[in-house]
Structure 1
Amino acid sequence: MRFALVGAVEGSLIALDALLAKGMLPSLVVTLPPEAADRHSDFADLTTPARAAGSAVCHTTNVNAEETLAAIRASAPELVLVLGWSQICRQAFRAIPRMGVIGFHPSALPRLRGRGVIPWTILLDEKTTGSSLFWIDEGTDSGPIILQRLFSVAPDETARSLYGKHVRNLAEMVPEAVELARAGKAPRMEQDHSLANYCAKRVAEDGLIDWQRPAVEVMRLIRAVGEPYPGAFSRQDGKVIHIDAARAFADSFRYIGLAAQVQTHTADGFTVMCGDRQCIEVAAWRTADGRRPPVHSKLGV
Structure 2
Amino acid sequence: MRALLIGAVESTRVALRALADAPDWTLAGVVTLPLDLAGRHSDFVDLEPEARAIGCPVLRGANANTEEARTAMAALAPDYLFVIGWSQLCGEAMRALALGRVVGYHPAPLPRLRGRGVIPWTILLDEPITAGTLFLIDEGTDSGAILAQHFFHVAPDETASTLYAKHMAVLEAMLPGLLSGLAAGTVTPRPQDERYATWAARRRPEDGAIDWHDDAVAIWRMVRACGDPYPGAWTMLGEERLVILKAEPVDLSHHRAALVGQVVERSEQGFTVRCGDGRGVRVTEWRGSRPPLHVRLRGKG
Structure-2-length-normalised TM-score: 0.96
Say which SS state the counterpart of residue 156 (structure 1) adopts. coil
How many Å separate the matches in 2 of 1:215 and 1:21? 47
Aligned partners of 1:91 and 1:99: how far apart in 2? 8
Alpha-carbon distance in structure 1 between the residues aligned to 2:234 and 2:295: 18
Matches within 5 A, 1:1-301: 1-23=1-23, 24-98=25-99, 100-250=101-251, 252-255=252-255, 256-287=257-288, 289=289, 291-300=290-299
Following the alignment from structure 1 to structure 2, what is the Cα–Cα distance between the partners of residues 135 and 11?
16
Structure 1 residue ranges, 4+ long, deviating more than 6 angstroms after superposition: none
Q: Distance in 2 between matches of 1:175 and 1:5?
A: 15
Offset, 1:99: 6.1
Amino acid paired to 1:228: P
Q: Is the 8 A contact 1:159 1:224 kept in 2?
A: yes
Distance 1:164 1:226 in 2: 13
Three-state SS of the structure 1 residue aligned to 2:265 is strand
Contact 2:107 2:131 in 1 (8 A): yes
- Deviation at residue 268 of structure 1 after TM alignment: 1.2
- Measure, in 2, the Cα distance between the counterparts of 1:198 and 1:297: 36
Matches of 2:292 and 2:298, distance apart in 1: 8
Unaligned runs of 5+ in 1: none
Unpaired runs of at least 5, structure 2: none
CA distance in structure 2 between the partners assigned to 1:53 and 1:164 by the alignment: 25
Measure the CA separation in 1 of the matches of 2:144 and 2:90: 12
CA deviations over 1:147-200 (Å, ceiling 9, x no partner): 000001000000010000101111122232222111111221011011101000
Count the aligned residue pairs.
Answer: 298
Aligned-residue offset at 1:18: 2.9
- C-alpha displacement at 1:84, in angstroms? 0.4
> Is 2:100–2:138's contact at 8 Å kept on the other side of the alignment?
no
TM-superposed deviation, 1:63: 1.1
Deviations 1:48-80 (A, max 9, x none): 111111111110111101111111110000111
**How far did 1:13 drift?**
1.0
Deviation readout 1:183-228 (Å, 9 max, x if unpaired): 1112210110111010000000101101110010000000001000
State the secondary structure of the residue aligned to 1:240. Answer: strand
The code of the aligned residue for 1:102 comes to V
| TM-score (norm. length: structure 1) | 0.96
**C-alpha separation in 1, matches of 2:181 and 2:62:** 30
* C-alpha distance in 2 between matches for 1:194 and 1:172: 29
What secondary structure does 1:253 align onto? coil
User: Contact (CA 8 Å) 1:25, 1:53: kept in 2 or not?
Assistant: no
SS at match of 1:143: coil
CA contact (8 A) 1:249 1:279 kept: yes
Contact 1:129 1:151 in 2 (8 A): yes
> 2 CA distance for matches of 1:169 and 1:11?
10
CA distance in 2, matches of 1:52, 1:2: 18
Q: Is the 8 A contact 2:22 2:179 kept in 1?
A: no
Conserved 8 A contact 1:264-1:296 = no
